Structure formats: structure tokens, C-alpha cells
Amino acid sequence: MLVLRIYRGLEGIRRERRGIALGVFDGVHRGHQALIRALLEACQKDQLIPSALTFSYEAGFGFDRKPVGHSFIMSEEERLRALGETGVQEIFLVPLTDDFLRLSPSDFLDLFVA
């Protein structure tokens, strides 16, 4: 049995060989499901850990540091549960903090991918 790991934040992340689907995943609709199915197939082929990276808007701000001006379809816990049911082995719930938003692309990859 595979164990689902959920990382809440950037602390304690082990760099491993993983494939990552990145998105808000609000609603985990058919498009999200198709993306994750493709991720699972690619990860199986290349022996990678299938993972999803999504965002926490706990401070109420989006990527542009402006207040999120809409409601979400799912709560964070509902989103984590729905993502966990897709077959991914890891979920990264990353808060949209100033530190995270300032990461360079290479620093971002260094956090997650070996």
C-alpha cells in the first residue's frame, strides 16, 4: 500500500525523483483528473513519485499579492482529500508567502526535484 504524504509548507521536503502536477486544483474537475492521469502514466514509466503541488491562500492573497476576490469551490481539506483520491503519492500545500513568491525558477526546482 502506498502512503500519501502531505507537506504543509516548504519545511521538511526531501528532494526526490518526482513528477509534479502544479495547480490550484479547486474542484478537481475532469481537466485536473486528465492531467493527473497523464502524470501517473509518465511517473510509472520513468519511475518517479507522482506528486501534486497546490497553494494555500491562508493570508487571503493571490500570486499578485492582491486579495483573492472570489470564493473557492472546495475548502483546503476537501481539495487535499480529492487530490489524495487521484493516486498521487505526495501533495505539497504551499502557502503563497512573499518568500515563496520570490523563489527563482531554479530554487523552486531545487526544493522539490532531485
* pLDDT tens readout for residues 9-33: 888 998 899 999 999 998 899 999 9
Asked whether residue 1 carries a pLDDT value surpassing 50, the answer given is no
Domain-by-domain residue ranges, the chain? 5-112
Under CATH, which number does the domain 5-112 receive? 3.40.50.620
Strand, helix or coil for residue 2: coil
What is the mean predicted confidence (pLDDT) over 39-58? 94
Q: How far is Cα of residue 109 from the mean position of the Cα atoms in its chain? A: 13
Q: From CA 79, how far away is CA 48, in angstroms rounded?
A: 23
C-alpha cell at 96: 503563497
Residue 111 CB coordination number (10 Å): 15
Per-residue pLDDT at 19: 96
Q: From CA 114, how far away is CA 111, in angstroms rounded?
A: 8
Asked whether residue 83 carries a pLDDT value surpassing 90, the answer given is yes
Q: From CA 23, how far away is CA 65, in angstroms rounded?
A: 17
